[in-house]
Amino acid sequence: MKYAVITGASSGIGLAASVELAQKGYAVIGVGRDEARCEQAALQIRAAAPDANIRFLCADLMQQREVARVAHEITEILLQEHEGKLDALINNAGCVRSWYTTTEEGYEQQFALNHLAGFLLTWFLLSQLGRAGGRVLMTGSESHKQFRMRWHDVMFSRGYNPLAAYKQSKLSNILFARGLNDRYQKDGVRAYVVDPGLVCTEIGCKNTGGLVNWIWNMRKKHGAQPEVPAGTYGYLCETEPAPEELYYYRCKPNRYSKQVTRENADRLFALSERLCGVEYPSAIVTEKEKTI
C-alpha cells in the first residue's frame, strides 16, 4: 500500500484527489483546518471508497508552527506504518484574500499558505519522500502565466492587489516544483504542478468579500467539478515510469510561463529558505544511507 499526504483535503480539489487516491488503494493522510469539515470529508471518502485507509489531521498551515506540528505527526504515522516512506505529497491547501492580511510571522497570507506552507512541509518530509522515490504535486493555476515575481516586495505590503498576489503565489508553485526537480530528481523524487483549470469550488468565497467574492461566485458557475482535475493527481502519482514534464492539465503536459527558469527558481528557493528558517540539503540522505 502506498501513502499519500494531501493538504486542503477537506473540500474541493483536495477532497476529490483524496477520493481518487483512496479508490486506487492509497492510504491517505488528509490535512484540513476545521475538525468538523475533516470528519465530514472522511465520511464522504469512505462512502466512495468503503475500504479506504483514511485519516485527517487538523492544522492551520498558514502558521509555520502548525506546519511543523503536523509534519511531526505525519512522520510518526509513516514511521509506525510505512517504514518512514511517503509516496506522494500533494500541496493543495490554498486561499484567496480580498485585502492585505498577514500571518503570525508577518507574511502576506496568500503567499504564506499557497507557497510557503508547501515549501516548509516538503522540507520536513523530504527524507520520507526520498525513501519512497516519492512525488510532490502542487496545485497551480493558468493565472501564473500572466505575472512576474515581485522580487522587491513579494508580500505586497505596498499597493496590495489580491489578484496579483494570487498570481504570484501560483507562479511560486511552479518555480518551487522546478527547484525541487533541479535538486532532487537525481535522488528519485519528482515534482509536478497540476493546472486544475476553472473548478467549481469555494476557494474564492472563504474569508473574502466585496468584489473578489462576487467575481468568484460568477466564475465558479462555469467551472468543472473537482472530480475532473482529480484524475490528473492520480495520473501523476501512479504513472510508471514517472512522467517527464513539469506542468500538467487533464493528464497531459501543458505550456507554462517563460518566467520558470533555473535563475528564478533558485532565487525563490533561497528567499523561501530565509522566510521559513530552514535550509534544504544538497541531496536527500535517508537513515539507511547514513548507516552505510
**pLDDT at residue 126 greater than cutoff 60:** yes
Residues contacting residue 256 through CB under 8 Å, at least 6 positions apart? 144, 145, 174, 193, 246, 247
From first CA to last CA, the distance across the chain in angstroms is 27
Counted domains in the chain: 1
Query: Alpha carbon of 1 to those of 16, 26, 190, 196: distances in Å?
Result: 20, 6, 19, 26
Specify the pTM: 0.90
Mean residue pLDDT of the chain comes to 91
- Which CATH number goes with the domain that contains 65? 3.40.50.720
* 8 A C-beta contact, residue 114 and residue 95: yes
Mean pLDDT of the region 180-206: 81
Q: Does residue 212 carry a pLDDT above 80?
A: no
Confidence of residue 291 (pLDDT cuts 50, 70, 90): very low
CA dihedral 32, 38, 41, 47 (to 10 degrees): 130
Could you tell me the pLDDT band of residue 229, with boundaries at 50, 70 and 90? confident
In the predicted model, is pLDDT for residue 121 greater than 70?
yes
DSSP bridge partners of 199: 224
pLDDT tens by residue, 50-83: 999 999 999 999 999 999 999 999 999 999 999 9
The residues pairing with 90 across neighbouring beta strands, listed in sequence order, are 6, 137
Q: What nine digits make up the cell of 129? A: 519522500
Peptide bond into 196 cis (omega under 30): no
Check whether 148 has a pLDDT greater than 90: yes
3-state helix, strand, coil split of the chain in percent (to 5) is 50, 15, 35
Residue 146 — very low, low, confident or very high, per pLDDT cuts 50/70/90? Answer: confident
Confidence of residue 183 (pLDDT cuts 50, 70, 90): very high
Show which residues are catalytic. Answer: 166
Q: Contact at 8 Å (CB) between 98 and 208?
A: yes
Answer for the pair 227, 48: CB distance below 8 angstroms, yes or no: no
Domain residue limits at 59: 3-290
